[in-house]
């Protein structure tokens, strides 16, 4: 609609359907994480597929997306609250909290990749290498006690950025497949380097010290009366905080002129340059910022799993990160969150299929690419006025 018309009579609480979706997703995640029998998991999966199909067919998804855009701040806060509630409810279960934290950190990593890839169109097939650089930084610095642990997270990001500096010249000068080979070569190089380097533990890897925050060691389980609480609760809460922070940054970036420049560079470099946008500067900024985010999430991941080895940061893991971005929809943060949950949870919950998981997973991605190439939740036009209702 191009003409400006007065808002028609809207339901008094337009965000209620989106809020219902958030709460339902929270309940669903709880059910999925608690389900132990294979038949329970399978029926939950079937339920999700059917519900999604019905929601797409009836236009419910589009309505929720519109409502979300209309009252974004409120709904994002609600989503965060539901996430925290979910973490607290599951506070007794090691496995569920580990899963939630892993999903959250992969989500953060996917946001970093999305800045490079969804916004600027820079392909990065070395995501796991930058993620791993953060984790290795945490391992090495964690043994030096003088550094405050919260700074280690930042250091992980800075180291990931620093090792990507030599790549800047080839990244800026190449495009398309030629850029892909630069990052692929770097990913292989990084992994081989870790494997043959004896200071960094070689193929056996390194131990990582746990996170300490204000004198509180994250390896200690918080105690509350005689409730049984897993020490992963610390990490889950910290990961949730990190995810919320990076998500807010991502949204701000998208709405800023920098995000606009990134989109312009992705859509047409020549045209963007004609309008006075520095293609080089935009690409460098996107590449470095994305790698900082990857490094920070990697550092926290390393502390959480407390043991890292080169085998966790291979080319296949980079592919996994890229698949999260593509499955979710390029540039779409919520799509990335759903895709991260699918990629992490599906193989872990279906132990029956554990052996076949990579096979099934690769076939799933192929099917999505063939039949829904725009991803699970395609990105919309940027919303400059997040809390205003548009009738379009």
Partner 1 sequence: MDFGLIAQYLANGILLGTMYALVAVGFTLFFGVLDVIKFSHGDVLMLGTFIGFTAWLGLEAIGIVNPWIQLVGVLLCSLAGTALIGAAIANWLILPLKKAPQLNTLLITLMLGTAIREAVRLFYPNGSNPKAFPALLPDASVEIGSFALRADSVILVISGLALIGALNLVINRTRLGLAIRAVAQDEETARTMGINYTLVVLATFAIGSGVAAFAGIMNGLYYNEINFGMGLILGLIGFSAAIIGGLGNLYGAILGGFLFAGLQVIGAALLPFASAYKDVFAFAVVIALMAWKPTGLIPERSSDRV
Does 170 interact with partner 1 (rule: CB under 8 A)? Answer: yes
Cβ-based nearer residue to partner 1, 152 or 330: 330
Does 216 interact with partner 1 (rule: CB under 8 A)? Answer: no
Cβ-based nearer residue to partner 1, 66 or 380: 380
- φ/ψ of residue 331, rounded to 5: 75, 10
Q: How far apart are CA 31 and CA 28, in angstroms?
A: 5
**Segment interacting with partner 1, rule: CB under 8 A, options 96-104, 163-171, 213-221, 253-261:** 163-171
Q: How far apart are CA 5 and CA 200, in angstroms?
A: 64
Element of type H or E holding 292: helix 279-305
Residue 194 burial (CB < 10 Å; 0-12/13-18/19+)? buried
Binding residues among 194-213 for partner 1 as defined by CB under 8 A: 195-196
Q: What is the DSSP string of 262-279?
A: HHHHHH-HHHHHHTT--H
Cβ-based nearer residue to partner 1, 128 or 365: 365
Binding residues among 220-249 for partner 1 as defined by CB under 8 A: none
3-state helix, strand, coil in the chain (%, to 5): 70, 5, 25
Does 274 interact with partner 1 (rule: CB under 8 A)? Answer: yes
Query: Which of 104, 97, 83 is CA-nearest to residue 228?
Result: 97
Answer yes or no: are the C-beta atoms of 361 and 368 closer than 8 Å. no
Dihedral angle, C-alpha 228, 229, 231, 235, nearest 10 ° = 170
Among 133, 167, 244, 337, binds partner 1 (CB under 8 A): 167
Does 267 interact with partner 1 (rule: CB under 8 A)? Answer: no
Task: For the CB of residue 10, give the shortest distance to partner 1 in the complex, in Å.
Answer: 37
Does 169 interact with partner 1 (rule: CB under 8 A)? Answer: yes
Assigned token pair, 317 = 């893991």
Cβ-based nearer residue to partner 1, 194 or 258: 194
Task: For the CB of residue 370, give the shortest distance to partner 1 in the complex, in Å.
Answer: 6
Residues found near partner 1 in the complex (CB under 8 A): 123, 166-167, 169-170, 173-178, 180-182, 184-186, 188-189, 192-193, 195-196, 268, 270-271, 274, 315-316, 319, 322-323, 326, 355-356, 358-359, 362-363, 365-366, 369-370, 373
């Amino acid at each position: 609609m191009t003409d400006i018309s007065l808002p028609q009579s809207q339901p008094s609480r337009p965000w209620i359907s989106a809020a219902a979706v958030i709460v339902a997703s929270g309940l669903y995640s709880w059910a999925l994480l608690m389900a132990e029998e294979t038949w329970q998991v399978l029926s939950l999966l079937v339920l999700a597929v059917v519900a999604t199909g019905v929601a797409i067919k009836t236009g419910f998804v589009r309505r929720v997306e519109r409502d979300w855009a209309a009252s974004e701040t409120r709904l994002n806060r609600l989503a965060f609250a539901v996430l925290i509630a979910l973490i607290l409810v599951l506070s007794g279960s090691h496995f569920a909290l580990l899963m939630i934290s892993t999903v959250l950190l992969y989500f953060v990593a996917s946001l970093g990749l999305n800045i490079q890839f969804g916004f600027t169109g820079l392909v990065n097939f070395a995501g796991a290498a930058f993620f791993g650089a953060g984790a290795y930084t945490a391992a090495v610095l964690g043994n030096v006690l003088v550094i405050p642990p919260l700074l280690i997270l930042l250091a992980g990001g800075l180291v990931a950025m620093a090792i990507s500096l030599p790549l800047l010249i080839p990244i800026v000068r190449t495009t398309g497949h030629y850029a892909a080979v630069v990052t692929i070569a770097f990913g292989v190089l990084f992994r081989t380097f870790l494997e043959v380097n004896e200071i960094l533990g070689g193929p056996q890897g390194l131990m990582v010290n746990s996170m300490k925050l204000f004198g509180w060691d994250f390896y200690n389980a918080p105690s509350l009366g005689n409730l049984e609480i897993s020490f992963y609760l610390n990490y889950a809460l910290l990961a949730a905080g990190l995810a919320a922070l990076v998500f807010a940054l991502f949204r701000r970036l998208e709405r800023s002129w920098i995000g606009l420049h990134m989109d312009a560079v992705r859509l047409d470099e020549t045209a963007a340059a004609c309008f006075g946008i520095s293609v080089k500067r935009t690409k460098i900024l996107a590449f470095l910022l994305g790698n900082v985010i990857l490094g920070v999430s990697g550092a926290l991941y390393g502390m959480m799993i407390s043991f890292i080895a080169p085998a966790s940061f291979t080319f296949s893991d980079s592919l996994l990160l890229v698949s999260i971005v593509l499955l979710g929809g390029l540039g779409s943060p919520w799509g990335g969150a759903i895709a991260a949950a699918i990629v992490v949870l599906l193989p872990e919950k279906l132990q029956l299929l554990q052996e076949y998981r990579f096979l099934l997973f690769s076939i799933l991605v192929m099917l999505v690419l063939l039949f829904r190439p725009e991803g699970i939740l395609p990105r919309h036009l940027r919303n400059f006025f997040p809390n205003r209702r548009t009738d379009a």
